[in-house]
Structures are given as C-alpha cells and as structure tokens.
Amino acid sequence: MNQDLVSQIKNARLKARLSQEELAALANISRRPIYLLESGRGSIRLETLMKILDALGLDLAVIAKGANHD
C-alpha cells in the first residue's frame, strides 16, 4: 500500500480524534484492517479501504501511471 495514502489516512483519523476501534465502528468493519493498514503488516481489500476513506470523509484519486501532469 502506498505510504503517502497510509499516512494521510492515519493523520485524518488522529485529527478526528478517533481510535482505531472508533473508526472501525464508523466504517462498519472490524479493527483488524485498520491495524494492518496503519502498521504496514498486511493488505486490505479495496472495498474495505473505501469504507475507511468514506468514514473519514476522504476520497481516493487514481492517476494513471506515466500520465503527463503538465
């Protein structure tokens, strides 16, 4: 997982003053995927990532590899 994305997610969680458990409840998932994501110890499903982002009010922007951004 991209470390910039992981950092943004963790920073948003901390800024919202949410524990991993509280974020999990808001995202309607277990705490484990959040732990795996933030610790870099595993991967999570895209559907789960989207639930986490939604709970934090964040969006995922996808940029094509090699795209020219002039």
| 69 occurs within a structural domain | no
How is residue 45 written in tokens? 């499903």
What's the domain count of the chain? 1
| 33 occurs within a structural domain | yes
d(CA 31, CA 39): 12
The predicted-structure confidence for 41-63, as pLDDT tens digits, reads as follows 888 999 999 999 999 999 887 76
| 44 occurs within a structural domain | yes
| 70 occurs within a structural domain | no
| 8 occurs within a structural domain | yes
Residue range of the domain that includes 51:
3-56
The predicted-structure confidence for 4-30, as pLDDT tens digits, reads as follows 889 999 999 999 999 999 999 999 999
pTM of the model: 0.83
Q: Which of 30, 37, 29 is nearest to 54 (CA)?
A: 29
